[in-house]
Chain A
Amino acid sequence: MSRLVVLVCPQWPVVAAGCRADEAVAVLHTNRVIARSRAAADAGVRVGQRRRDAQARCPALRLVVHDASAEARAFHRVVDTVAEMVPRLELTVPGTLTFAARGPSRYFGGDLAVATLLVERVEAVLGPSLAAIGRVGAGVADGRFAAGVAARLAARAGQPEVVVPGGSGALLADLPVGLLADVGGLDRAVVDLFHRLGLGRLGDVAALAEADLLARFGPVGAVARQMAAGLDDRPLGAVEPAPGSAVEQAFEPPVDHLDAVVFTARSLAERLVAVLAADGRVCTQLAVTVVTEQGERSERVWSRPAGLGVAAVLERIRWQLDGWARRLDEHSAAGVVLVRLEPTEVRADDGAQAGLWGGRSQADEWAQRAVARLAGLVGDEQVVMADWRGGRLPADQYRWVPASLGAGGGAGPSSSAPAAPWVGALPAPTPASLYPEPVPVVVLDRHGRAVGVSARGVLSSEPVQVQAEPIAAWAGPWPLDERWWDPRGARRLARFQLLTASGRAYLATVERQHWWLIAEYD
């Protein structure tokens, strides 16, 4: 069990966005608040709130869109400060720093001394921008989750929190189970389920047998128990990779353009991910080392429990270089001579992030951002996804739900294809084009008379012409009498399939003795 120090700058996105001490600011991601300033919190703005609700609570609220790379760049000030005290840092998300307590503790004289010094130095660097969020927290504990929780408690209390060795379980036992999602990054649905099952505190989860949780929830359950008991060291199943799996690229001549380095790093990242994938593994913790021609080094450890795909690796390299390049520019214009990627922790790839072409979660993330952007542009109700609900007419079979509810998983449309055909619907294929408004047409028989359908569903004569175009084949009528008990929703119509001589196939209806084209098979 390793002892870790975690430094947390609460509400980091707000600090990165720049905020005066008394200003109400909220950072939004996919239409929900992910961080808010202290003034906004006083006005009732909460993390997780929808944009509209937040604005209703606090009309003067300044809204900022979440920008992960800007936040990572801004966090580099903190990272650089801490890097002067501790050589090897681990970053998961901007705003949180983790490192092993053992070495620094011995050097600075104890866990508490490290934590106090850490907070002092970081607060000195952040200075006035800190006023909007409160205090920085530093926590020392056994286990990753416990240390993270301790750091959050410390930020709230305003003083470092050091948990005695072996005391992580006792610290966590009385805390709410929701922390597993807030701090531990566990699936919110699972944590909610714990709640509904009566497991309100972390101690309740820790008291269960691991085998039972594993049986009921799968690997997530086992992870949750480890966390709740303060025993999580690294993600479940993670191991150190085989030696020699590091990849590196030397540049000759040195490259002094950031984009060029990232571009080359792409093939490096692809190689790394492909090598690991060949063993069925995915990297969860990665050390990125960059060396300049002047001999300056930047070494950072990046971790991501969901696994690092090519796009995620590149994003981290860019974050690291961005922050570093800014500082280097002040001293020299040295070019980069070496980029080295070394996986420090891998686990079996269980498909949480699939594919070599960028990773599924990355595509989801992009789509989620684009949905938020589109919703802002054209309105939430106009950006939709199809949700199957069944019906006899093609236009009734799907309903449209706002994509902001569904994109990227969560409470979105289930959309699962129907298992069996819908009774009363025409068999597949379904027309590819559904007319938003039915098109009125004239259908004639051999003698040029309008074709009608009687109330009993009997055709007056054979249709041979639709809108002056000969009909090559047709079938129907298939009558439909829907909602006859409801005077306003009642519909009585007969359906036809018409194939014209030019090869175009339509779905037509006769409703109140008029012919309409409602869809085309094109």
Chain B
Amino acid sequence: MVAAARSSSSADTRARLAELIPRLGAAAPAAERTMPMHPALDGLFPQGVVRGSTVACVGAVAASTALLLLAGPVQAGSWGCVVGLPTFGPGAAAEAGVALERVVVVREPAAAAFDESTWAQALAAGVDGFDIVVLGAGRHLRAATARRVQARLQARGAVLVLVGAAGAFTPDLQVTGRADWHGLGAGHGYLRTRRVTLGLGGRRLPRDRHDTLWFPGPSGVVERAGAHPSPLHRQAG
């Protein structure tokens, strides 16, 4: 008797919820809360990256993955900022599809290294002004600073990309990559194409995602390997 009453009331609730859902959906469009990504990352981020999240790139292709993450939003008209990454290679960024006219790099002067508070302030200014911020691993930031930056990230709706170890930050997502180069032989050839296997994990994901990319592919563009199933003739190594 009691159970029947409960089930009918829960059916009621469900019906009312079903009525509400479309309205809720209209109030907060999903596209507004995510950032568009490079098409090659469709397999890992089918809906883009949620604004306010921190993505750590680790493994053998960390730097390239970070550039690819930067490419999507910058292509879509956002501005990007690269902080504390002295190895940033603009050539590779351009090849990954980053529009360099909307990327600002903050360098550390060789003579005078920044202290922790300068880095924290520079990072905060970057998060305030740019939709996507790439941070190198070399900087040691205190945990309290990292928490504050991440809170600001949420409020501002920007995305933070960490290259290498996450350090004091708590990444929401982690991209791990493995690379398999083709084209280089024993004393001949060039590094031409690279098959990259990316794994995406994180506390917001129910299960890890995996995808394989040509980075770059035979035609020089970055694309999902699904689009090009046949591997190139592999030079004997």
Contacts and interface: CB of A to CB of B under 8 A. Distances in A.
- Note whether A and B form a binding pair: yes
Interface of A: 267, 270, 354-357, 360, 363-364, 366-367, 369-371, 373-374, 377-379, 381-386, 388, 394, 397-398, 400, 403, 406-407, 412-415, 417, 426-436, 459, 462, 472-476, 497, 499, 502-505, 519-522
Residues of B in contact with A, size category: 35 or more
Interface in B60-99: 60-64, 67, 76-79, 81, 86-95, 99
**Which 6 pairs show the lowest CB-CB distances between chains A and B?**
A370-B129, A430-B91, A386-B90, A367-B79, A433-B87, A432-B63
A277 to B, nearest CB: 13
A369 B89 contact: no
B104 A407 contact: yes
Interface string B111-144: 0001000100110011011110000000000000
A522 B63 contact: yes
A397 B95 CA distance: 13
B106 A378 contact: yes
A520 to B, nearest CB: 8
A417 B94 contact: yes
Given A370-B126, A474-B186, A377 B121 contact: yes
Contact of B220 (A428, A459, A462): A428
Nearest to A476: B187
Given A267-B26, A360-B77, A386-B93, 13 more contacts: A371-B129, A378-B108, A378-B114, A381-B109, A385-B104, A386-B103, A413-B100, A427-B190, A432-B92, A475-B189, A504-B60, A522-B63, A522-B179
Contacts of B108: 378, 382
A434 B87 CA distance: 5
A522 B103 contact: no
A479 to B, nearest CB: 15
Contacts of B191: 429, 497, 499, 505, 521
B233 to A, nearest CB: 14
B107 interface: yes
Contacts of A412: 101
Interface in B178-202: 178-181, 184-192, 194
Contact of A428 (B63, B110, B216): B216
Contacts of A373: 125, 128-129
B105 interface: yes
Contacts of A504: 60
Interface stretch (B10-18, B27-35, B145-153, B168-176): B27-35
A60 B92 CA distance: 47
18 contacts: A267-B26, A357-B31, A367-B79, A367-B129, A370-B128, A374-B125, A378-B114, A378-B122, A383-B107, A385-B100, A385-B103, A388-B100, A428-B216, A433-B63, A472-B237, A473-B181, A499-B237, A520-B63
Contacts of A354: 77
Contacts of B186: 462, 473-474
Nearest to A408: B79
A355 B131 CA distance: 14
A243 B88 CA distance: 53
A374 B118 CA distance: 10
B209 interface: no
Given A497-B190, A522-B63, A428 B95 contact: yes
A363 B104 contact: no
A363 B181 contact: no
A413 B220 CA distance: 25
A459 B187 CA distance: 10
B27 A382 contact: no
A44 B178 CA distance: 61
